[in-house]
Amino acid sequence: MEDDYSLISGWMISIRRAMDLSGLDFKLACNELKIDSSAFDNPESRTTAKNTIKILEYCNNKLNRHDFALVVAEQFHPNIFHALGYAMMSSQSLQSALTFIVQYKKVVSNTCTLNLIECEKELIFSMNICRYKKSNELVLPYIAVELFIATIVKFSRELTGSSLNPNKVLFSFPKPEYDVELIVDFFKCDIEFNALNTAIIFDLTQAKNIVMTSNPLITQMHEKMLENFMSRIDKDDLKHTVKSKIFELLPLGSPSQKVVAQSLGYSLRNMQRKLNEQGTSYKYILEQTRKELTFGYIQQLHLTYTEISYLVGFSCTANFNRAFKQWTGMTPSHFRKSL
């Protein structure tokens, strides 16, 4: 169904701010478009992709302009992405922040797939838009894609605290018939239309630089919230439900598959089968969760290695040290000194 394609209602925070700045009444617009504006009062609610597109097009028409999406992007605030936005803002680098949005893309929207690829000296953040099954039409038109790409660039500048500009921006859409000077002014880089994929190409060195707002403790806190949120909005994706439960149980010791399965209402065999169908396993999720938590904890210098080992579910420090060396090729003390 077309209504299955949705976006988190946090997008309306930026849209409403942009409308206020432009002298447009949000509630009046919703009334004219027959959209229930009260549905956006809950930050965890979702709206159809079509409703968001209607509002963007309405604003362009009312203002007799083509760049309203860029005005919206300028109003970026982390809370439009729920806990994901704050996890991204406290990430160690732009690359790790973009990794978050790729991993938790469904929090923001299910209208596309996202990928992040290192290619020589560049970091490529690409977007593949879904199509409606019946008509084969793209779920998102150019105006919505422009908004998302512009928001990611605005976020990148906010995170790095600099006038960061991409190396290049690609759109898989024909060049608009109107003047694109405002688009070029916003992105401040070469723009390519009719590309194979929509993408932002960043300088890899810039993307890897550690940012001043990095805070692993805050990132971990919001990642736990994200896993819980994902398990609620996508009940068919067992990976996030299992990971959320592991987050909860790890400080008590390494949880067994059987304990996690029972706590989630599955038989052990049924949980194993479902995870296998999703291309993963309990062992892999447990290992990845431990690694993610460890890399965050080890940057918190007040925590001893013994405390970290217990926090990530190891029964003794020796086992933790052995696992850490397998992950990094270094001991925890050498790794901490290298930071």
| Predicted pLDDT at 24 | 96
Most confident of 101-115, 208-222, 293-307: 101-115
For strands 46-48 and 168-170, give the pairing: unpaired
**Mean pLDDT across 177-193:** 94
Confidence of residue 338 (pLDDT cuts 50, 70, 90): confident
- How many Cα neighbours within 13 Å face the side chain of 296? 23
Q: Could you report the per-residue pLDDT of 186-243, keeping only the tens digit for each?
A: 999 999 999 999 999 999 999 999 888 888 878 888 887 777 777 666 666 788 888 8
| Predicted pLDDT at 245 | 85
Residue position matching structure tokens 């290619």 = 119
| Contact yes or no for 122/204 (Cβ under 8 A) | yes
- Model-level pTM? 0.76
How far does Cα 133 stand from its chain's mean position?
25
Q: Could you report the per-residue pLDDT of 124-142, keeping only the tens digit for each?
A: 999 999 999 888 899 999 9
| Predicted pLDDT at 236 | 67
| Predicted pLDDT at 235 | 63
268-277 and 282-297 are packed helices; what angle lies between their axes, rounded to 10 degrees?
A: 80
Domain residue limits, the chain: 2-208, 235-338
The verdict on domain 235-338 having CATH code 1.10.10.60 is yes
Q: Which CATH number fits domain 2-208: 3.90.1520, 1.20.1630, 3.40.50, 3.30.410?
A: 3.90.1520
Q: Could you report the per-residue pLDDT of 39-82, keeping only the tens digit for each?
A: 777 766 888 899 999 999 999 999 999 999 999 999 988 888 88
Tokens of 61: 């028409």
Of the candidates 111, 101, 107, the one whose C-alpha atom is nearest the C-alpha of residue 51 is: 111
